[in-house]
């Protein structure tokens, strides 16, 4: 009913506008002009021309002439595109709004088209440097290695006939064989040069003779929230290889707790970029790219909860590069080593709690569970059940605090001071950090 009322209103107004444009003196003939233009309205029974007296034939002729002139004007307007031809029935409103629409729309379209074209040109090239990673493991001694999982990787370097690929540690973890799948679906055997569970990074080496494109690594330290980014990878396996999703930088310097050994306890805190670009299983190790086609992050994880959408994380490339270089060169990450295993106070079994004595003012710390023979801790005289409360005046309340400070603030060869409590008494122990020996 509402639509019908709008049609009636339009039918009673538009002929008047047309007559005014043609001849202002013919306003009294609007009903006749509408009857002559069946594309606008239907004739009204109460306003038939035959009901008018014959003595009024002269105004009738004027009306006919006015209608013809009006029709010619309207036709000319349509022909010159001054009145847009569309499916809307409210022509009067379209005439007023089309002017502003035609002025605004090209600017928006040009901006979007320009941005998308620029991105697509760069993304197409970068996509060729994003590869598939196949993790193969032997299920039994009687069968060859089989695919157990897949992810993504980025070709970041080509040198001396070799090409180098960075991916996530969890993509190649436990693999007995690794295949790299190129953009043209060709498989190449890869060698794992090194992997690091804390940073979740791994570096592979492949034959570079067939590698034509290497990704350009861009800076990640100047990113801003709201920047456009593209995620490239192989979600759900190689069936959807080279998938591209678009989003923005949703957050920077997000600290995410990581469980590296599967005990459901956080072992490390990693700083990541948050994005709402779709990241799915199989995207791990793929590229997070800026508008210039530069890799600014390595897609690593997402929050996988039914009530959560669009929260994915990538390792900043500026943080990854030093790890990549060390893995490529040495095969592992050299970190300072004390030589102890620890547990928080509430993790100590009940039967051993009597060995831990702390003043009331001390509200936490890490209990030494074991001291490795010949280690810096052993040489410095640390003992089981000692409680570490500070390293170089940095308060320590968890394993995360301990590792974060050790691996971020100290170096191999540094001397550090440990504040400990033994049998309820405070002591300061000094030791020199060394590099853990590879077994």
Q: Maximum Cα–Cα distance for the chain, whole Å?
A: 127
**Residue 284 is a catalytic residue:** yes
Q: Is there a contact between 156 and 131 (Cβ–Cβ < 8 Å)? A: no
Catalytic residue among 170, 276, 300, 386: 170
**Residue 200 is a catalytic residue:** yes
Q: Is there a contact between 424 and 358 (Cβ–Cβ < 8 Å)? A: yes
Alpha-carbon span 34 to 89, nearest angstrom: 15
Compute the residue count for the chain: 439
Nearest to 164 by CA among 151, 153, 175, 176: 153
Nearest to 377 by CA among 430, 420, 438, 435: 430
Catalytic residue among 250, 284, 300, 319: 284
Catalytic residue among 200, 276, 386, 401: 200
Distances (CA, A) of 145 to 138, 204, 206, 209: 4, 18, 19, 26
**Which of the residues are catalytic?**
170, 200, 284
């Amino acid at each position: 009913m509402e639509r019908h009322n709008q049609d009636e209103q339009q039918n009673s107004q538009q002929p008047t506008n047309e007559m005014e444009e043609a001849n202002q003196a013919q306003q009294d003939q609007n009903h006749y002009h509408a009857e002559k233009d069946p594309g606008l309205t239907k004739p009204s029974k109460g306003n038939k021309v035959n009901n008018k007296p014959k003595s009024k034939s002269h105004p009738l002729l004027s009306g006919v002439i006015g209608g013809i002139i009006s029709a010619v004007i309207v036709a000319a307007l349509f022909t010159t595109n001054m009145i847009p031809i569309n499916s809307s029935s409210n022509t009067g409103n379209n005439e007023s709004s089309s002017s502003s629409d035609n002025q605004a729309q090209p600017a928006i379209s040009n901006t979007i088209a320009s941005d998308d074209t620029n991105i697509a040109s760069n993304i197409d090239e970068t996509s060729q440097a994003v590869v598939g990673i196949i993790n193969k493991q032997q299920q039994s001694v009687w069968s060859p290695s089989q695919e157990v999982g897949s992810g993504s990787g980025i070709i970041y370097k080509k040198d001396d006939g070799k090409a180098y690929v960075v991916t996530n540690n969890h993509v190649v973890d436990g693999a007995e064989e690794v295949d790299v799948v190129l953009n043209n679906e060709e498989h190449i055997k890869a060698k794992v040069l090194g992997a690091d569970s804390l940073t979740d990074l791994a570096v592979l080496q492949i034959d570079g003779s067939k590698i034509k494109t290497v990704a350009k690594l861009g800076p990640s330290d100047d990113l801003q929230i709201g920047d456009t980014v593209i995620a490239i990878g192989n979600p759900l396996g190689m069936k959807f290889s080279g998938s591209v999703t678009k989003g923005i930088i949703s957050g920077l310097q997000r600290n995410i707790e990581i469980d590296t050994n599967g005990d459901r306890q956080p072992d490390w805190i990693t700083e990541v970029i948050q994005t709402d670009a779709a990241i799915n299983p199989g995207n791990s190790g793929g590229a997070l790219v800026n508008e210039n086609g530069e890799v600014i992050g390595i897609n690593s994880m997402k929050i996988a909860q039914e009530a959560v959408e669009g929260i994915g994380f990538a390792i900043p490339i500026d943080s990854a590069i030093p790890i990549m270089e060390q893995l490529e060169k040495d095969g592992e990450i050299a970190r300072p080593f004390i030589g102890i295993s620890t547990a928080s106070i509430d993790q100590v079994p009940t039967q051993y709690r009597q060995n831990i004595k702390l003043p009331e003012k001390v509200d936490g710390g890490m209990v030494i569970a074991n001291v490795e023979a010949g280690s810096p801790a052993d040489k410095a005289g640390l003992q089981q059940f000692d409680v570490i409360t500070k390293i170089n005046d940095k308060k320590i309340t968890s394993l995360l605090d301990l590792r974060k400070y050790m691996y971020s603030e100290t170096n191999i060869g540094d001397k550090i001071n440990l504040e400990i409590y033994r049998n309820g008494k405070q002591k300061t122990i000094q030791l020199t950090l060394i590099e853990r020996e590879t077994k």
